[in-house]
Amino acid sequence: MTDTMTSAPFLTIDDQPITIAQAIRYLQMGRKFDGFIAEILRQFVIEREVATRQDLNVNTAVVEQAMVDFRLQNQLTEP
């Protein structure tokens, strides 16, 4: 990692800067790093594939409504 990556604040909690290196260490210690990287990779591949597909015409409003409907049907709304 470069010095900028190890010293630049990635996140701030209670006015305490957390560097990307610290965040990665925390994920590794909590055994969450592999899943975190896998999720980033999954999203990257999906986004890249969707961007290259000419046959997809996605209506954002329809997708958002489907998400709302799914949450309601599965009782995933906040109390």
Q: Is residue 8 domain-resident?
A: yes
- Give the integer Cα–Cα distance in Å for 18 and 8: 8
Q: Is residue 78 domain-resident?
A: no
Q: What is the pTM of this model?
A: 0.56
Question: Is 21 in contact with 9 (CB distance < 8 Å)?
Answer: no
Mean pLDDT by 10 residues, the chain (79 residues): 69 95 96 96 92 83 92 83
Q: Is residue 79 domain-resident?
A: no
- Give the integer Cα–Cα distance in Å for 25 and 32: 10
Q: Is residue 37 domain-resident?
A: yes
Number of domains in the chain: 1
